[in-house]
Amino acid sequence: METKDLILRNWQDSDAKALYEMCLDETLRKSGIDFYNSITDSRNTIQCWKNDRGFKVIADKRNDNFIGFISLGGMNRYDGYMEIEYAVAARYRNNGCAMQAVQRMLDYGFKEMNLSAIAAWVRSHNKESIKVLEKCSFTYEGRLRKHARDKSDTLCYSILREEWEGLRRLCIDIRAMNYDDIPSICRADGDESKKNIDYLKRQLDNQEKGECTALLALYNDAVAGHVFLYHKCRWGGLAGHNIPGIVDLIVFEKYRRKKIATMLLDAAENIARQHCNKIYLDVCLNSDYGPAQRFYIKRGYIPNGKGAYYEEKICETNAVCRNDDELTLCLVKEL
């Protein structure tokens, strides 16, 4: 099985050393992974995995180097219900390997193994794994308190076959915006005014200067939304702090609830990581933005602790202000 950068293959005796060394990582041990006393110990364990069609090595497509492993295993429910588990060696993290492997394994589980549901249980402190599951469209089901062996909480996620099938039917493309896109964006937005055209041109001018990245979402080749990521954002609650900031994440109404906002934000966050370990945005506080507020909080954005802003200035205690689109909360996320 292959992805853009990976091969998911069967185990080989030669994987024993890499498996042993990967499992020495304290971060992986805290996540609940088994570890081995020696290379011989890991090699003996591999013998049991060679014929397991649901247990694969994650390898680099270019050179077959060992990156980690991924598995689908039973949970004592019924034949069509399995749990996915994965681990990636430290030097290969934060570059999309886990996400590629999980997405390919979902395809394998639902298409080749004919599963009905795939679950994932993750310790609450394993933030990186939680991000992978959320990006792969797993649904959060609940928390088992002090369930893990280290007495941390276990978070339960799953994805159903019908949800996976729905995602496969989507044809969403995220790419860089260019000047030729402006007419299509304005038509999709229902606003072909000079003001809107000039606004989009300014964003693209700033992209040309290297100040921002303008991303466009297409749904079945139709313009569905966009976002601007400023690498050192000059607006909002953290303006001037040299932190990447999201400006105008927009999904047009007919394309909402199709994971487009998630994919736009995923792409923006991946770019932001190249500049900083944080990202921020300002969200309006009026009720029209309630769904957006919930979306960002679920994505891990938290208030910066300064309270509300009005026209980009902190609202002091007992200040009187109007609850319009200038009343905002600054949200920050660690990347």
Shared domain check, 161 and 266: no
Residue 268 lies in a domain: yes
Phi-psi region of 71 (alpha: psi -120 to 50; beta: other; left: phi over 0): beta
Residue 122 lies in a domain: yes
Is 272's pLDDT higher than 80? yes
Range of the domain at 220: 172-334
Average pLDDT, the chain: 93
pLDDT digits (tens, 9 = 90+) for 47-57: 989 889 899 99
pTM of the model: 0.59
Q: Between 224 and 50, name the one with better pLDDT.
A: 224
Lookup: tokens for 296 = 């960002």
What does the pLDDT read at residue 96?
Answer: 85
Residue with the two structure tokens 């100040």: 211
pLDDT above 70 coverage of the chain, percent: 100
What does the pLDDT read at residue 169?
Answer: 74
What does the pLDDT read at residue 191?
Answer: 97
CA 114 to chain centre: 26
Residue 250 lies in a domain: yes
Residue 190 lies in a domain: yes
Shared domain check, 51 and 195: no
Shared domain check, 150 and 177: no
pLDDT digits (tens, 9 = 90+) for 23-39: 998 888 888 887 788 99
Q: How far is CA 145 from CA 31, 126, 155, in A?
A: 16, 15, 9
Shared domain check, 320 and 189: yes
What does the pLDDT read at residue 53?
Answer: 87
Secondary structure of residue 330 in the 3-state scheme:
strand
pLDDT digits (tens, 9 = 90+) for 125-136: 998 898 899 888
Buried b (16+ CB within 10 A) or exposed e, 260-273: bbbbbbbbbbebbe
For residue 12, what is the domain's CATH number? 3.40.630.30
Residue 246's pLDDT band (cuts 50, 70, 90): very high
Residue 42 lies in a domain: yes
Residue 1 lies in a domain: no
Residue 160 lies in a domain: yes
Shared domain check, 326 and 213: yes
What does the pLDDT read at residue 314?
Answer: 96
> Which of residues 135, 169, 203 is at a domain's end?
169
User: What's the total number of domains in the chain?
Assistant: 2
Q: Using an 8 Å Cβ cutoff, are 68 and 97 in contact?
A: yes
Beta-strand ranges (E) seen in the chain are 6-9, 55-60, 66-74, 81-88, 117-123, 139-144, 154-160, 172-176, 212-219, 222-230, 245-251, 278-284, 302-310, 313-314, 327-334
Shared domain check, 128 and 61: yes
Q: Which of 40-49, 96-105, 139-148, 165-174 has the lowest mean pLDDT?
A: 165-174
Shared domain check, 271 and 142: no
> Which of residues 169, 187, 217 is at a domain's end?
169
pLDDT digits (tens, 9 = 90+) for 290-313: 999 999 999 999 999 999 999 999
